Amino acid sequence: MTSSTLALQTATARTTLPNGLTVIAIENPVADIVASRIFVRAGQGNETSATAGLFSLLTAVLTKGTAQKTSLEIAEIVESIGASLGADVTADYSVVSLKTVSADFETVLGLAAEVLRQPSFPAAEIELERRLILQGLKSIKEQPFSVAYNHLREALYTGHPYGLPNAQVEQCMQTFTRADVQAAHSQYFRPDNVVITIVGRISPKLAVKLVEQCFGDWQAPATALPVRSFPPVAVNAQKIVTAQETNQAFIVLGYLAGEVTHPDYAALKLISTYLGNGLSSRLFVELREKQGLAYDVSAFYPTRSGVSQFVAYIGTAPENVPVALAGLQKEIERIKTTPLTAEELQVSKNKILGQYALGKQTNSQIAQTLGWYETLGLGIEFDEAFPAAIATVTIADIQAAAQRCFVEQSVSILGPAAVVEPLR
């Protein structure tokens, strides 16, 4: 079929192979580059307290050897043609990313298929990646904002995979075996759990044909695909105070917020843009420019398939913690009680839609965006539905969404003991 998706006058194909694998191919001949994303509908949200961090280890080792090739051989193939191949994990999915010139795409796709389907998980590579992950977790402890935010995340999502503590990840990471990694791969890395997006100077017909060649004989196990079921999350206000001798104190406010399919999703995206996106945002102007309270201040609302979070934060001088906390809370409360002006709403819409368009300029960005939407169960149509939803949000919608979301507030404060201890 043809589509104007992403404002490209290009051919687009969406196909499901007999084995259940979904292929989305978009021809974009502007540059001689083909980018692809291979999404697996399993990630950190599929972990438990006994498997915290398992998908981080799995994806780190995925490209480090196959039944036929060593890690070095894989790297040499990729580097010899100037391509890229890597794997990563997020809360809702795992992904293999590749990019190359069109003439080499068949070679790199075949290598990606081998990596995805026949990883060898060498013991030496597992040990190396385990050490690197543990080092990364250790370095996070030295980053004040990360510490404060992770404490908030863990408090918001008690008993939920999104809130697994880093301490739990560290504990599990030291005990994972090769068999654990293989078991997770066998359970979740299967064709009926995979979405492949291909964007670039390649016809959709050829793209689908190459996927069929590389993945068509991949058969799904006879066992049913595990169904991810998130536990309910209790909404209750909490305060976490962490004493740490730092030059800068951090205050992080958080609320549980609707998932991507929630009716308030578009309104909350606009609120996060209005409050925390850029030098003209409300929090920046009020708390940094006018009051001089902030080294850094912003807000964010991640897109999640499960319950999400709305977070606002400020980095401030330790002596300013009480007034900065009050100022941050005041601006959040103001959204609930004082309607935005028509101009403020329109500026926020222009900003979010402009940045959304800028985030889809390259083949890699397009492959990521459409594959992400398909993986979340939204379909590639969400690429047009999202801007349309933003355009229809009203001032009343903004205030109503704020009143529903900004109720039970959790707070994480980190700074020198003399400053934060009295706030407990």
Which pLDDT band holds residue 4 (cuts at 50, 70, 90)?
very low
Q: What is the pLDDT of residue 423?
A: 87
Q: Are residues 266 and 201 in the same domain?
A: no
The tens digit of pLDDT for each residue in 142-164 reads 999 999 999 999 999 999 999 99
Q: Are residues 410 and 360 in the same domain?
A: yes
Q: Are residues 38 and 94 in the same domain?
A: yes
Give the residue, 386 or 235, on which the prediction is more confident. Answer: 386
Which pLDDT band holds residue 236 (cuts at 50, 70, 90)?
confident
Which pLDDT band holds residue 116 (cuts at 50, 70, 90)?
very high
Which pLDDT band holds residue 3 (cuts at 50, 70, 90)?
very low
Give the span between the Cα atoms of 130 and 382, in whole angstroms. Answer: 37
Q: Are residues 103 and 243 in the same domain?
A: no
Q: Are residues 37 and 177 in the same domain?
A: yes
Q: Is residue 226 part of a domain?
A: no
pTM of the model: 0.94
Which pLDDT band holds residue 2 (cuts at 50, 70, 90)?
very low
For residue 2, what are the β-bridge partners?
Answer: 11
Whether 7 has a pLDDT exceeding 50, the answer reads: no
Give the span between the Cα atoms of 163 and 157, in whole angstroms. Answer: 5
Q: What is the pLDDT of residue 10?
A: 60
Region 382-394: mean pLDDT is 97
Q: What is the pLDDT of residue 11?
A: 77
Pairing of strands 296-300, 2-3: unpaired
Q: What is the CATH number of the domain that holds 156?
A: 3.30.830.10
Give the span between the Cα atoms of 318 and 141, in whole angstroms. Answer: 19
When divided into structural domains, the chain yields a total of 2
Q: Is residue 246 part of a domain?
A: yes
Region 290-316: mean pLDDT is 97
Nearest to 377 by CA among 304, 270, 269, 300: 304
Which pLDDT band holds residue 9 (cuts at 50, 70, 90)?
very low
- Residues spanned by the domain of 364: 238-423
Q: Are residues 205 and 250 in the same domain?
A: no
Q: Are residues 24 and 95 in the same domain?
A: yes
Q: Kindly report the average pLDDT of the chain as a whole number.
A: 95
Q: Is residue 363 part of a domain?
A: yes
Q: Are residues 300 and 177 in the same domain?
A: no
Whether 206 has a pLDDT exceeding 50, the answer reads: yes
Region 280-309: mean pLDDT is 96
Q: Which amino acid is at 161?
A: P
Domain termination site, one of 183, 215, 247: 215
Question: For 256, how many CA atoms within 13 A lie in the half-sphere containing its CB?
Answer: 18
Domain termination site, one of 182, 215, 248: 215
The tens digit of pLDDT for each residue in 311-334 reads 999 999 999 999 999 999 999 999
What percentage of the chain exceeds 90 in pLDDT? 91
Q: What is the pLDDT of residue 88?
A: 98
Give the span between the Cα atoms of 11 and 28, in whole angstroms. Answer: 8
Q: Are residues 184 and 319 in the same domain?
A: no
Whether 1 has a pLDDT exceeding 60, the answer reads: no
Q: Are residues 101 and 242 in the same domain?
A: no
* 187-188-191 Cα angle (round to 5): 110
Region 77-101: mean pLDDT is 97
Region 109-135: mean pLDDT is 98
Which pLDDT band holds residue 6 (cuts at 50, 70, 90)?
very low
Q: Is residue 221 part of a domain?
A: no
